[in-house]
Amino acid sequence: MAEKRENIISHAMRSGLVLGGLMVVSYLLSATFVKNIPVQFLLGLIGLIVSIWVIFYFTRKFDKDVLKGEISYVSALSYGFYMFFFAGMIVALFLYIYLRYLDPNFLTELGNSFIQYYKDHHLLEDSIIKQFEAQLSGLEVPTPAQTAIASLWTFSFTGFIIVLFTSIFFRKKKNNKTQN
């Protein structure tokens, strides 16, 4: 049992590194298009689809390479959670470095770009937009460390929710052969 747990964690670390790397690329693209809200939405959607594909790919690989085709729902669930947790650590480290040293104003720019998008496209009434602007100007921008920790928790929790559903596809059907 300890060997399987060690295999789950070491395999999930490697796949989490890949997933985390892909999410870092997604964040870098997001930072490039900070003023383009539709592109931000599209990048988020692509990130979700890539995450789901990575879950399926690496869980299948883990099942084949380590568990020899004997994966259970719980094994797939724990493997997926570990994968997202390790990927979240990579993303949190990246966000800390990015927000601390590379672009400290990114979060403020992102908030302002959302408000500008609403103004430009007349999606909300002016009074509501003014309320948002007042709220945004009154908010304290989180520190890079706060943002990194929040992203780790968010990434892990969101990954767990996704894995709750994707793990269903890995449960094995019971063998109903009867002996005569």
Q: What is the pLDDT of residues 67-81, one digit of tens each?
A: 888 889 999 999 999
Q: Write the single-letter amino acid at 63.
A: D
Element (H, E) at 175: none
Those residues with Cβ within 8 angstroms of residue 173's Cβ, 6 or more apart along the chain or in another chain? none
Runs of H (alpha helix) within 66-180: 73-97, 106-121, 126-138, 144-166
pLDDT of residue 175: 53
Task: HSE, CB side, 13 Å, CA atoms: give it for residue 22.
Answer: 21
Chain segment 125-180, per-residue pLDDT in tens: 888 878 878 877 777 888 999 999 999 999 999 999 999 999 999 876 555 554 44
pLDDT of residue 180: 44
Cα end-to-end distance, the chain, whole Å: 34
Task: Choose the most confident range, by mean pLDDT, from 6-15, 114-123, 141-150.
Answer: 141-150
pLDDT of residue 173: 57
